[in-house]
Chain A
Amino acid sequence: MAAQPLLLELRNLAKAYPAGEEGKPLAVLRGITLGIAAGESIAIVGPSGSGKSTLLNLVGALDHPTSGEVLFHGRNLAGLDELALADFRSREIGFIFQSHLLLPQCTLWENVLLPTLACPGHKPVEPAEHRATRLLARVGLKDRANHRPGQLSGGERQRAAVVRALINSPKLLLADEPTGSLDRAGAQNLAQLLLELNQEEGVTLILITHALELAQRMGRILELVDGQLHPAQP
Chain B
Amino acid sequence: MKARDLVFRSLVFYARTHAGVVLGAALASTILAGALVVGDSVRASLRRFADDRLGRVAFAMAGNERFFRAALADELAARLNLPVVAALQLPATATTAEATARANHVQLLGIPPDFWKLAGHPASFADLDTNTVLVNERLAGQLGLQPGGTLLLRTPKPSLLSREAPISPQEDASTALRLTVGAVLRDDQFGRFSLQANQVAPGNAFVSLAHLQARLELPGRANLLLVGAEPGQAIATNRVAEALHQAWQLADAQLELRTLPATGETELRTSRVFLEAPVANAVLEMPQARGILTYFVNELRCGSQSTPYSIVSALPPGAYPGGLADHEILVSQWLAEDLSAKPGDSLSLAYFVVGSRRQLEERQHTFTIRGVIPMTDPLADRQLMPDYPGLAKADHCRDWDAGFPIKLDRIRAKDEKYWQDYRGTPKAFITLGTGQQLWSNRFGNLTAVRFPAGAEATSRIEARVRESIRPAGVGMVMQPVREMAAAAATQGQDFGQLFLGFSFFLVLAALILMGLLFQFGVEQRLAEAGTLLALGFTPGRVRRLFLLEAGVLVGLGSLLGVPAGCLYGRAMIYGLTHLWQSAVGTPSLFYHAAYPTLLAGAAAGAAVAWASAWWTLRKQFQRPVQELIARGAELEPAGPPLRQKTSPEMLLATFALVGGSLVMGAGALGTDYAAPVFFLAGALFLAGGLALAGLLLTAQATADGAAHPGLAGIALRNAARRRQRSLATLGLLACGSFLIVAVSVNRLDASRQADQRRSGTGGFALVAETSLPVVHDLNTPAGLEFYGLDATALAGGSAVQCRVREGDDASCLNLNRAQVPRFLGVPPEALQSRGAFSFATVARGLPADQPWRLLSRAGPGEPVPVIGDAASIKWAMGRSVGDLLTFLDERGRPFQARIVAALANSILQGCLVMAETDFIQLFPSETGCRFFLVDTPPAQAAPVSATLTRAFRDVGMEVTSASRRLDAFNAVQNTYLSTFQLLGGLGLVLGSVGVALVVLRNVHERRSELALMVAMGFRVRAISRLVLWEHSYLLLGGLGVGTLSAAAAVLPALRSPGGGLPYVPLLILLAAVVSHGLLWTWAVVRVALHRPLLAALRNE
A118–B641 alpha-carbon span in the complex (Å) = 36
B-contacting residues, A97-142, CB 8 Å: 97, 99, 101, 103-106, 109-110, 113-119
Instruction: Report the minimal beta-carbon distance from A86 to chain B, rounded to whole angstroms.
Output: 4
Size of the chain B interface, CB-CB below 8 angstroms? 28
A-contacting residues, B739-783, CB 8 Å: none
B534 contacts across to A, CB distance below 8 A: 60, 62, 89, 95, 97, 101
Interface string of A55-88 (1 = CB under 8 A from B): 0010010110000000000000000001100111
Specify the chain A residue showing the minimal Cβ separation from B5: A110
Instruction: Report the minimal beta-carbon distance from A150 to chain B, rounded to whole angstroms.
Output: 10
A-contacting residues, B502-540, CB 8 Å: 527-528, 530-539
A88–B626 alpha-carbon span in the complex (Å) = 17
B-contacting residues, A140-191, CB 8 Å: 164, 168
Is residue A200 within 8 Å, beta carbon to beta carbon, of the partner chain?
A: no
Q: Are B536 and A91 in contact (CB under 8 A)?
A: yes
Is residue A50 within 8 Å, beta carbon to beta carbon, of the partner chain?
A: no
Q: Which of B9, B624, B629 contacts A105 (CB 8 A)?
A: B9
Q: Are B538 and A83 in contact (CB under 8 A)?
A: yes
A229–B585 alpha-carbon span in the complex (Å) = 86
With known contacts A62-B624, A101-B629, A114–B9 Cβ distance under 8 A: no
A162–B1095 alpha-carbon span in the complex (Å) = 34
A135–B289 alpha-carbon span in the complex (Å) = 117
Instruction: Report the minimal beta-carbon distance from A206 to chain B, rounded to whole angstroms.
Output: 15
Number of cross-chain contacts by CB at 8 Å: 84
Specify the chain B residue showing the minimal Cβ separation from A167: B535
Specify the chain A residue showing the minimal Cβ separation from B539: A82
With known contacts A101-B527, A110-B9, A116-B1, A95–B535 Cβ distance under 8 A: yes
Instruction: Report the minimal beta-carbon distance from B381 to chain A, rounded to whole angstroms.
Output: 109
With known contacts A57-B626, A97-B629, A110-B1, A86–B537 Cβ distance under 8 A: yes
Instruction: Report the minimal beta-carbon distance from B858 to chain A, rounded to whole angstroms.
Output: 71
With known contacts A57-B626, A105-B10, A105-B14, A115–B536 Cβ distance under 8 A: yes
Q: Are B6 and A106 in contact (CB under 8 A)?
A: yes
Is residue A213 within 8 Å, beta carbon to beta carbon, of the partner chain?
A: no
Is residue B2 within 8 Å, beta carbon to beta carbon, of the partner chain?
A: yes
Instruction: Report the minimal beta-carbon distance from A217 to chain B, rounded to whole angstroms.
Output: 25
With known contacts A53-B626, A63-B624, A115–B535 Cβ distance under 8 A: yes
A53 contacts across to B, CB distance below 8 A: 626
With known contacts A105-B13, A110-B6, A117–B537 Cβ distance under 8 A: yes
Specify the chain A residue showing the minimal Cβ separation from B538: A86
Q: Are A118 and B541 in contact (CB under 8 A)?
A: yes
Q: Are A86 and B533 in contact (CB under 8 A)?
A: yes
Q: Are B535 and A89 in contact (CB under 8 A)?
A: yes
B530 contacts across to A, CB distance below 8 A: 101
With known contacts A97-B629, A110-B5, A117-B2, A103–B538 Cβ distance under 8 A: no
Instruction: Report the minimal beta-carbon distance from A61 to chain B, rounded to whole angstroms.
Output: 10
Q: Are B535 and A90 in contact (CB under 8 A)?
A: yes
B10 contacts across to A, CB distance below 8 A: 103, 105
A17–B563 alpha-carbon span in the complex (Å) = 55
A82–B10 alpha-carbon span in the complex (Å) = 26
Q: Are A62 and B626 in contact (CB under 8 A)?
A: yes
Specify the chain A residue showing the minimal Cβ separation from B534: A95
Is residue B12 within 8 Å, beta carbon to beta carbon, of the partner chain?
A: yes
With known contacts A21-B641, A62-B625, A110-B5, A118–B537 Cβ distance under 8 A: yes
Instruction: Report the minimal beta-carbon distance from B315 to chain A, rounded to whole angstroms.
Output: 104
Specify the chain B residue showing the minimal Cβ separation from A63: B624
Q: Are A101 and B531 in contact (CB under 8 A)?
A: yes
Is residue B234 within 8 Å, beta carbon to beta carbon, of the partner chain?
A: no
Is residue B236 within 8 Å, beta carbon to beta carbon, of the partner chain?
A: no
Q: Are A114 and B1 in contact (CB under 8 A)?
A: yes
Q: Which of A89, A91, A99, A113 contacts B1 (CB 8 A)?
A: A113
Interface string of B1-31 (1 = CB under 8 A from A): 1110110011011100000000000000000
A91–B539 alpha-carbon span in the complex (Å) = 17
A95 contacts across to B, CB distance below 8 A: 534-535
Q: Which of A105, A109, A118 contacts B536 (CB 8 A)?
A: A118
A89 contacts across to B, CB distance below 8 A: 534-536
B536 contacts across to A, CB distance below 8 A: 86-91, 93, 115, 118-119, 168
Instruction: Report the minimal beta-carbon distance from B132 to chain A, rounded to whole angstroms.
Output: 79
Most chain-A Cβ atoms within 10 A of its Cβ — which of B12, B527, B535?
B535
Specify the chain A residue showing the minimal Cβ separation from B530: A101
Q: Are A117 and B6 in contact (CB under 8 A)?
A: yes
Instruction: Report the minimal beta-carbon distance from A155 to chain B, rounded to whole angstroms.
Output: 19
A164–B12 alpha-carbon span in the complex (Å) = 22
A101 contacts across to B, CB distance below 8 A: 527-528, 530-531, 534, 629
A57–B641 alpha-carbon span in the complex (Å) = 27
Q: Are A63 and B626 in contact (CB under 8 A)?
A: yes
B541 contacts across to A, CB distance below 8 A: 86, 118
Instruction: Report the minimal beta-carbon distance from B440 to chain A, rounded to whole angstroms.
Output: 91
Q: Are B535 and A104 in contact (CB under 8 A)?
A: no
Specify the chain A residue showing the minimal Cβ separation from B15: A105
With known contacts A83-B538, A115-B535, A104–B626 Cβ distance under 8 A: no
B624 contacts across to A, CB distance below 8 A: 57, 62-63
A82 contacts across to B, CB distance below 8 A: 538-539
Interface string of A35-58 (1 = CB under 8 A from B): 000000000000000000100010
A95–B534 alpha-carbon span in the complex (Å) = 7
B538 contacts across to A, CB distance below 8 A: 82-83, 86
Q: Are B626 and A114 in contact (CB under 8 A)?
A: no
A86–B541 alpha-carbon span in the complex (Å) = 10
A117–B10 alpha-carbon span in the complex (Å) = 15
A97–B533 alpha-carbon span in the complex (Å) = 13
Specify the chain B residue showing the minimal Cβ separation from A56: B626
A98–B641 alpha-carbon span in the complex (Å) = 33
B532 contacts across to A, CB distance below 8 A: 114, 118
B527 contacts across to A, CB distance below 8 A: 99, 101
Most chain-A Cβ atoms within 10 A of its Cβ — which of B13, B626, B641?
B626
A104–B14 alpha-carbon span in the complex (Å) = 10
A88 contacts across to B, CB distance below 8 A: 536
Instruction: Report the minimal beta-carbon distance from A74 to chain B, rounded to whole angstroms.
Output: 21
Specify the chain B residue showing the minimal Cβ separation from A112: B1
A57–B630 alpha-carbon span in the complex (Å) = 12
A77–B537 alpha-carbon span in the complex (Å) = 17
A106–B626 alpha-carbon span in the complex (Å) = 22
Specify the chain B residue showing the minimal Cβ separation from A107: B9
Instruction: Report the minimal beta-carbon distance from A161 to chain B, rounded to whole angstroms.
Output: 10
A110–B2 alpha-carbon span in the complex (Å) = 9
A72–B1002 alpha-carbon span in the complex (Å) = 44
A117 contacts across to B, CB distance below 8 A: 1-3, 6, 537
A90–B533 alpha-carbon span in the complex (Å) = 9
B535 contacts across to A, CB distance below 8 A: 89-90, 95, 114-115, 118, 164
A118 contacts across to B, CB distance below 8 A: 532, 535-537, 541
Specify the chain A residue showing the minimal Cβ separation from B14: A105
B12 contacts across to A, CB distance below 8 A: 105
A217–B539 alpha-carbon span in the complex (Å) = 37
A104–B6 alpha-carbon span in the complex (Å) = 11
Instruction: Report the minimal beta-carbon distance from B74 to chain A, rounded to whole angstroms.
Output: 82
Instruction: Report the minimal beta-carbon distance from A120 to chain B, rounded to whole angstroms.
Output: 8
Q: Are B537 and A106 in contact (CB under 8 A)?
A: no
A110 contacts across to B, CB distance below 8 A: 1, 5-6, 9
Specify the chain A residue showing the minimal Cβ separation from B13: A105
A6–B625 alpha-carbon span in the complex (Å) = 27
Q: Give 16 CB contacts A-B under 8 Å.
A: A21-B641, A62-B533, A62-B625, A63-B624, A86-B538, A93-B536, A97-B534, A99-B527, A103-B9, A103-B531, A105-B10, A110-B9, A115-B535, A117-B537, A118-B537, A168-B536
16 more A-B residue pairs beyond the given contacts A57-B626, A60-B534, A164-B535, with a C-beta to C-beta distance below 8 A: A21-B641, A53-B626, A57-B624, A62-B533, A62-B534, A62-B624, A63-B624, A93-B536, A95-B534, A103-B6, A105-B13, A106-B6, A110-B5, A114-B6, A115-B536, A118-B541
Q: Which 6 A-B pairs have the closest CB atoms?
A: A90-B536, A105-B13, A118-B536, A113-B1, A89-B536, A105-B9
